[in-house]
Amino acid sequence: MNREQITGVDGGMAAAFGMGTEEAQGDALLLQAQGLVAGYGGAPILNGVDLSLSIKDVGVIVGPNGAGKSTTLKALFGLVRLSGGSVKIGGRETTNMPPHQLARRGAAFVPQEHNVFPSMSVEENLELGGYIRRDSLTPLIEHVYQLFPALKEKRRQPAGELSGGQRQMVAIGRALMLEPTLLMLDEPTAGLSPKVMGEIFDRILAVNAEGVGVLMVEQNAKQALAIASKGFVLASGQNRFTGTGRELLEDPEVAKSFLGG
């Protein structure tokens, strides 16, 4: 699957942030972050990062180590406190909103590490993802299995016994149990083989096609930008380049400085 094959928006998912289907299918911003400033222990990591994303977008953040990529995602999800800037999701102010409230508003975050419960089965992991729901989880679990068929045959197996790619599928599937409108992924293909990386990217495109805006941090920059509708190149905690995935791949300066060629 490639970027051009992304079609369709699910109105039910758009409703998580009070967005109508017509609005979601347009270019209305799902995520708008301006001037983000954040750090750890008083040391600034982000120095004015700007991001915007519609519900139709797969956005990719790339850049060198220490650029602030993962910190950006954590700040958007309330895991790192912003000392400056603002965040709106679905047109609503969410700056420094705690993660549990963001989850109820339709945002989901999958960290790079420690993102499954290893001693619990695949299905138990998925059930935990729907912990705040009051309706039946069965249809949602079956939908995750449709997106990730490899997980259905492993449903009773402890997640810790799965391959790295399958564990990522479990982590993403668990995040989808709340039917988010915005899915944030930190290095979803880290340590995976090229073949498995391609499978994960295909599934991310499939999730996006169902009406979920996706923002991810990736070290596999060329491959990630190839599926991205929007790309953000960070350096020293600031935006260095912003454009479509194709524009960034074709930019000679981006290629030389950030893509190794």
What is the per-residue pLDDT for 132?
A: 83
pLDDT 10s digits, 63-116: 999 999 999 999 999 999 999 999 999 999 999 999 999 999 999 999 998 899
Cα separations (Å) of 251 from 3, 230, 245? 18, 14, 10
What is the per-residue pLDDT for 134?
A: 83
Give CA–CA dist 220/230, Å, rounded: 15
pLDDT 10s digits, 23-57: 444 468 999 999 999 998 777 899 999 999 999 99
- Could you count the other beta carbons within 10 Å of the beta carbon of residue 65? 6
What is the per-residue pLDDT for 1?
A: 43
- For helices 138-147 and 164-176, angle between their N-to-C axes, nearest 10 degrees: 140
Asked whether residue 7 carries a pLDDT value surpassing 80, the answer given is no
- Could you count the other beta carbons within 10 Å of the beta carbon of residue 107? 29
Domain boundaries, the chain: 3-106+179-255
Q: How many residues does the chain have?
A: 261
How much is the average pLDDT of 184-210?
95
Q: Shortest CA distance to 9 belongs to which of 213, 209, 242?
A: 209
pLDDT 10s digits, 104-113: 999 999 999 8
Provide the token pair at 156. 């009773």
Amino acid at 38: A
Helix (H) or strand (E) holding 122: helix 122-129
Q: Shortest CA distance to 178 belongs to which of 220, 222, 203, 144?
A: 144
pLDDT 10s digits, 228-244: 999 999 999 999 999 99
**Domain 3-106+179-255: CATH architecture, name and number where available:** 3-Layer(aba) Sandwich (3.40)
What is the per-residue pLDDT for 23?
A: 42
- Could you count the other beta carbons within 10 Å of the beta carbon of residue 140? 20
